[in-house]
Amino acid sequence: MASSEEFIPFTCVTLYSLLERASPNFFYDLHLLHKKEYSPDTISLLEQTIAKFDNCRLRLINVEAENNSFCYVNGHISSETYIRLLIPKIMRNYTDVIYLDSDLIICHDVADLIAHPASEDILLSGVVDLDVIGQYYGPELSMRYYLNSKLELKYPSHYLQAGVLVFHIPTLRAEIGEEGLIHAASKCCLRYFDQDILNYMCNQKVQLLDLRWNVVNDCDGYRIANIIAHTPKHLYAAYLNSRNSPWIVHFSGYRKPWNTAEIDMGSYFWTVAERAGLSGMIAKIDKRQAGDSLEKRILNKLLPYQSVSRELVKTIFFGVKYHKG
């Protein structure tokens, strides 16, 4: 996992959900990667979160020395998003490393993610990104152009969502090198940042996991009907079924349970937060969100979502802005 100090209360909920589902037959070696030192209060909160679980260890790994400030960022994405690209180097002594985002609720023992060894040529295991695939097969011409012509993916339908991944370290280091991912990032300017890097570098050697391992919620009440519904029928049916018994719930997107009332699948988060003794603290956190800028509101008016005119403009923009180096 990786987390800034500001995100720690929510990271603690994810940690608690993971350990609640952990098997007593295994020991869980947990690493939390960060770029800035945590305050004593933050360290205390992390210690309190895991205190009742005796089959785990939490290590705080400061990666500030691993300079990734040269990677492409924009106004709301910082260089911290690239931390997971350092895993082949930082975790060089491990065979399989499970990476988890910090906006998840774990509903199943994550040890099962590595219960069955991957083939020797597999670099990454993960769940397909139904947002991206839905845009690819739907009316968004720009996404088809982007995956085919910019990322040049041989298997666009194997594009992975990077919130839940298994890094197969020996194979990654042998094929790409311990700094291969972050080196590629330093040369690229891509739409989905480190997630695109991982897919560009590993697309032909990934193992697809059951969709239940990364069930994205219906962000803004828009994602399912307008994006995921455009995925191939077997994927759409599998996604709807996965919502009934998710192994991991993922609040991907800008709407989160702690800043949005009545969010889809939000009860998963608040139920765990209550058991972890964190719901009171989180409820007091400032929930204000910045709305769309005036420029974006004007753009949305002139170029409605999924309109032909918008897709043409986006395709031209993607062609000019994004590159792999």
Summarize pLDDT for 97-140 with one digit per residue, the tens: 999 999 999 999 999 999 988 999 999 999 999 999 999 999 88
- The pLDDT of residue 188 is 81
Q: What is the pLDDT of residues 132-165, one digit of tens each?
A: 999 999 988 889 999 999 999 999 999 999 999 9
Residue 66 has pLDDT above 80, yes or no: no
Q: Which residue has the higher pLDDT, 240 or 182?
A: 240
For the entire predicted model, the pTM comes to 0.90
Q: What is the pLDDT of residues 230-267, one digit of tens each?
A: 999 999 999 999 999 999 999 998 899 999 888 999 99
Q: Please, are residues 251 and 263 in contact by the beta-carbon 8 Å criterion?
A: yes
Find the DSSP H helices in the chain: 8-20, 40-50, 87-90, 130-137, 141-145, 169-175, 180-187, 193-202, 223-226, 233-242, 266-275, 279-283, 294-302, 308-321
| SS3 call for 156 | helix
Q: Please, are residues 323 and 200 in contact by the beta-carbon 8 Å criterion?
A: no
CA contacts within 13 A on the Cβ side of 277: 7
Distance of alpha carbon 273 from alpha carbon 275, whole angstroms? 6
Distance of alpha carbon 101 from alpha carbon 259, whole angstroms? 17
- The pLDDT of residue 71 is 55
pLDDT band at 315 (very low <50, low <70, confident <90, very high): confident
